[in-house]
Chain A
């Protein structure tokens, strides 16, 4: 297994952390000269450790000073588990999330969910997010709100190189829709019910990274929409920021069919890019085999943080297992398979290629 170490100042790093599909994903990024950012957070379901926090600690990043931004692509609980612990540890980091139209309405929903948590209901979806808002206040920070074509953070590197983190979504149309949905959620919110957002993925943030001479697209969980004013169609048709094709692509939404758009591969990505993704296995299993073939054909190298596992029941006391079988209950355990894909490249060398190392359950297809 390759060594877990710190990259040099002129080496960019994109490390995608997956959990096998049920416990979220995260992306840890070095934009050069000790400038680190983290996209989303996920947890080990048993130890509850924040996996990006553990990775940063393991490779020796100075958490207090060198992590500059934590971004939450969408606040589905699969993408924010352990994010408050991460934010707490990264004392100088800023915090970014998708823009909301009516902030008061949004905060009311998050606070109602928080109230449930205080009262001991285990049905809250947004607690981690709520805790991050508390940290923002404690630090007197302004949250960075991501919208289409916005530079969220930029860094001047040595030798006149520059790194930028740019949000490609959500579009105004998606933000507006989201606002309407929050109104419904507030009306329906009850202490014994968990908030379940319809189509959270159309509001997800997709990112475009400019790192010196290289470009990267991190697709988040963004999917296609019938409406051309949101999702990938909107980015393909209307984006103002993509200046160059990307050589590394984090395939969106676990490689689902409805997140694939041919024009993304034609117009936004270089020919045969390096592609990475996290699988999903929570009832629905992604990516489907046809999509795996497609991504392999389109990519120079295609990696997944783990393989799709055959599902089975959890191992437990024999007598309980017998009881469950007798009554015909079929339980499917969402397995935890941690894997990391680490992609590194020299920031200032035009024809450099991505040097990929795999850790844990990660595989090359």
Chain B
């Protein structure tokens, strides 16, 4: 089962808007009781600058620039906590305009070379290229969805490539992307209402994508 071969699952939440990076520091988070004090004390700070702040807690990495806020974790026990943290941070900074959200599910699957080659053949038939390219291999493939037709704006993007983390494996990266409506300012927490309402379905979608690969794999 492909699902049993997930070795690393990273969840990254990316917000696009206008941010003031320098406010967002570990002790500010602890002061607001959003993280434990001890977690703030042991945070690893990479950079704190007016234009960029980057630090990591034991369970999450946070990077903020003027236009982009990202929080990510490869520790599944904390996925809900990073969602809660993002929502709570911007509930404190409620005037921050945020217009876009990307929920990124990155799953690294442990596969041996034969399994990878088989998956590559399913995704794109390499023998079409063998007369022109010697030993063709798939580097990266991206599948992009047409704009959503549900109540939200945005789309989904799926990227498949060899894993850069595993000695042998592939990375399937689902970017589930949402935008606030044109009539909305992004200052009223619209994006967090979207995050709250799609959180479960986005995780479900990521699992369904794994299942779809499984089915394709079995059928081939």
Which A residues are within 8 Å of any B CB, using their own CB? 118-121
Contacts and interface: CB of A to CB of B under 8 A. Distances in A.
Contacts of A118: 193, 196
Contacts of B189: 119
Contacts of B83: 120
Contacts of A121: 196
Contacts, number: 17
A313 B17 CA distance: 46
Interface string B141-172: 00000000000000000000000000000000
A121 B193 CA distance: 11
B64 to A, nearest CB: 21
Size bracket of the B interface:
10 to 19
B129 interface: no
* Interface of chain B: mostly helix, strand, loop or mixed: helix
Interface of B: 83, 87, 91, 189, 192-193, 195-197, 199
A121 B83 CA distance: 11
A121 B87 CA distance: 11
A25 to B, nearest CB: 26
Contacts of B199: 120
* Interface of chain A: mostly helix, strand, loop or mixed: loop
A317 to B, nearest CB: 9
Contacts of A119: 87, 91, 189, 192-193, 196
A48 to B, nearest CB: 12
B206 to A, nearest CB: 17
Nearest to A117: B196
Contacts of B193: 118-120
A119 B199 CA distance: 11
A118 B87 CA distance: 12
Nearest to B91: A119
A118, A120, A121 — most chain B CB neighbours (10 Å): A120
A119 B191 CA distance: 10
Q: Which 9 A-B pairs have the closest CB atoms?
A: A120-B196, A119-B196, A118-B193, A120-B199, A120-B87, A119-B87, A120-B195, A118-B196, A119-B192
A118 B194 CA distance: 9
Contacts of B197: 120
A118, A119, A121 — most chain B CB neighbours (10 Å): A119
Nearest to A118: B193
Nearest to A121: B196
A120 B197 CA distance: 6
17 contacts: A118-B193, A118-B196, A119-B87, A119-B91, A119-B189, A119-B192, A119-B193, A119-B196, A120-B83, A120-B87, A120-B192, A120-B193, A120-B195, A120-B196, A120-B197, A120-B199, A121-B196
A120 B199 CA distance: 8
B168 to A, nearest CB: 22
Contacts of B195: 120
B91 to A, nearest CB: 8
A119 B197 CA distance: 8
A118 B190 CA distance: 10
Given A119-B91, A120-B199, 9 more contacts: A118-B196, A119-B189, A119-B193, A119-B196, A120-B83, A120-B193, A120-B195, A120-B197, A121-B196
A121 B196 CA distance: 8
Contacts of B196: 118-121
A35 B219 CA distance: 52
A183 B196 CA distance: 28
Contacts of A120: 83, 87, 192-193, 195-197, 199
A119 B195 CA distance: 9
A180 B199 CA distance: 36
A121 B189 CA distance: 15
A119 B193 CA distance: 6
Nearest to A116: B196
A43 to B, nearest CB: 16
A318 to B, nearest CB: 12
Contacts of B87: 119-120
A119 B86 CA distance: 12
A241 to B, nearest CB: 45
B84 to A, nearest CB: 8
A80 B197 CA distance: 21
A141 to B, nearest CB: 26
Nearest to A192: B84
A118 B195 CA distance: 10
Nearest to A120: B196
A121 B195 CA distance: 11
A121 B199 CA distance: 11
A130 to B, nearest CB: 15
A280 B189 CA distance: 41
A120 B196 CA distance: 4
B83, B91, B196 — most chain A CB neighbours (10 Å): B196
A301 B195 CA distance: 52
Nearest to B194: A120
A120 B194 CA distance: 9
A44 B197 CA distance: 21
B203 to A, nearest CB: 13
B15 to A, nearest CB: 15
